[in-house]
Amino acid sequence: MYSVIRAGELPPSPGGTVKFEGEPYGSGISFFLVHNEPGAGPDLHKHPYSETWIVRAGKARITADGQDLEASPGDIIVVSGETPHKFKNIGTERLEIICIHSSPRIIQEWLAEG
């Protein structure tokens, strides 16, 4: 069995991000194709599984487990399950990141910052 999802079949969010959940397609992973404007990005949250980011274009400030780091094209960042994290586009151009979730469904718990 195989599945083909053509470009445009998964509509982007108003901010430009495409969400893929693998479960309906028999895949053990899910991901976001992030395409954020400057200043945009998800607030603090966590997952019960690991998440891997691949920065394709732009610059991001990633906060993971209370530590800030800057990520640029070609960088790969991995956070383990239950690690609080967020990222923001800190550049002047759109930020393109592939956010790979090691789960057939995206399970996300939003966290209060403080």
The pLDDT of residue 1: 82
Separation of alpha carbons 104 and 40, rounded Å:
26
The DSSP letter of residue 48 is S
pLDDT at 114 over 80: no
Q: What is the pLDDT of residue 99?
A: 98
Phi and psi, residue 23, nearest 5°: -50, -50
Q: What are the tens digits of pLDDT across the range 58-103?
A: 999 999 999 999 999 999 999 999 999 999 999 999 999 999 999 9
Helix (H) or strand (E) holding 35: strand 30-36
- The whole-model pTM stands at 0.93
DSSP label at 105?
Answer: S
| Main-chain phi, psi angles of 95, to 5 degrees | -100, 125
DSSP count for the chain of H helices, then E strands: 0, 10
67 strand-pairing partners: 64
Q: Is the pLDDT of residue 52 over 90?
A: yes
- Domains of the chain, by residue range, sit at 20-107
Class of the CATH domain delimited by 20-107: mainly beta
